[in-house]
Amino acid sequence: MKLARYGEPGHERPALIDAEGKLRELSAHIADIACSTLLPDTLSRLRALDPDSLPRVPGTPRYGPCVGRVGKIVCVGLNYRDHAAESNMPVPTEPVLFLKPSSAICGPDDDIEIPPGSEKTDWEIELGVVIGKPAKYVKPEQALDHVAGYCVVNDVSERAYQLERNGQWDKGKGCDTFAPIGPWLVTRDEIDDVQNLDMFLDIDGKRYQTGNTRTMVFDVPTLVSYISQFMSLQPGDIISTGTPPGVGFGMKPPQYLKAGQTLRLGIAGLGVQQQRTVQVAP
């Protein structure tokens, strides 16, 4: 089952994607795709609906973030060996964690804002894991029971803020629009093997990132279990699981985003995002 949210920012409505890829209105059944909607019982109830019985959404509305009212985004750094190498950092022996604020979330096709004075805004295609059942001190073999589904995340990063401005990574990760999410939340039952999903990211038609989730250092069950030892995970929380190689920071010489560029990125089975970069005036 593919779930989406559509409409203007702050006024998104819930929808289901039918077999033809069309939006079907879900407002008669749920208020939003958020929080308790992601519990297993609610997802089972939605799965039982006949998509043809739901009203079609007319036109081509904006896709919003595929999850609403996200409590937190827990990000995993250096979770692909090749990306650690291009970053000149050691492969971690335990997951590297940092938090991305929910205020960074935007729709999958919304503009990415380059902050005033930024010269090192970078891109990162990542698999997002959406929590569907509260997770606290869970074991790896039970971890996937707590996952509602998966989505595409672009972990946009300002490298100077992240690495040159002292302190934690968060200040380079949390600017507005630095977390495009979607276009869909694909429920866990639709993905045969989450550790074998192809990923890509293009800028202005040129391929920069190509990867597959099988090369993660720490797989999804390990990450869900590990994070749950340090903080409880709640329905609607998102784990952004790291990026394969090909980011601007790792190139020789480094390359960064400029205003007027177009990013296109996707993960097999989870859809494609497309964003335009815009400069924010000082």
pLDDT tens for 103-112 read 999 999 999 9
Check residue 38 and give its pLDDT. 98
pLDDT of residue 13: 98
Beta carbons of 77 and 227 less than 8 angstroms apart: no
Is 90 exceeded by the pLDDT of residue 89? no
81 vs 220, residue with greater confidence: 220
SS3 category, 248: helix
Domain segments of the chain as ranges: 2-53, 73-279
CB neighbours of residue 47 within 10 Å: 11
- Per-residue pLDDT for 81 more than 90? no
Q: Give 29's contacts (C-beta < 8 A, 6+ positions apart).
A: 45, 46, 49
**What is the Cβ-side half-sphere exposure of residue 217, based on CA atoms within 13 angstroms?**
22
Give me the pLDDT at residue 210, please: 97
Q: What is the tens place of the pLDDT at every residue in 218-243?
A: 999 999 999 999 999 999 999 999 99
**What pLDDT, in 10s, does the model give residues 16-57?**
999 999 999 999 999 999 999 999 999 999 999 999 999 999
List, in order, residues 6 or more apart from 220 with CB less than 8 Å away: 127, 129, 143, 144, 147, 194, 195, 213, 239, 241
> Is 180 within 8 Å of 62 (Cβ atoms)?
no
DSSP strands (E only) in the chain: 2-6, 13-17, 23-25, 73-77, 96-100, 105-106, 112-114, 121-122, 125-131, 147-154, 157-158, 179-180, 185-187, 198-203, 206-212, 238-240, 262-267, 271-279
Tell me: the pLDDT tens digits for 153-190?
999 999 999 999 988 888 999 999 999 999 999 999 99
- The architecture of the domain spanning 73-279 is Alpha-Beta Complex (3.90)
Task: Give per-residue pLDDT as tens, 23-33.
Answer: 999 999 999 99
Q: Quick one: what percent of the chain has pLDDT higher than 90?
A: 94
| 157 close to 82: Cβ distance less than 8 angstroms | no
C-beta separation of 31 from 50 below 8 A: no
Predicted confidence (pLDDT) at residue 274 exceeds the cutoff of 90: yes
Taking a C-beta distance cutoff of 8 angstroms, is the pair 194, 126 a contact? no
Can you give the pLDDT at residue 83?
A: 87
What does the CA dihedral 193, 196, 135, 131 come to, rounded to 10 degrees? -90
For the chain, what is the mean pLDDT? 96
49-69 b/e (C-beta count within 10 Å ≥ 16 → b): eeeeebeebeeebebbbbbbe
Q: Using CA atoms, how far apart are residues 17 and 149, in angstroms rounded to an integer?
A: 14
At 88, the pLDDT band (50, 70, 90 cuts) reads confident
Identify whether the C-beta of residue 87 lies closer than 8 Å to the C-beta of residue 77: no
Confidence of residue 82 (pLDDT cuts 50, 70, 90): confident
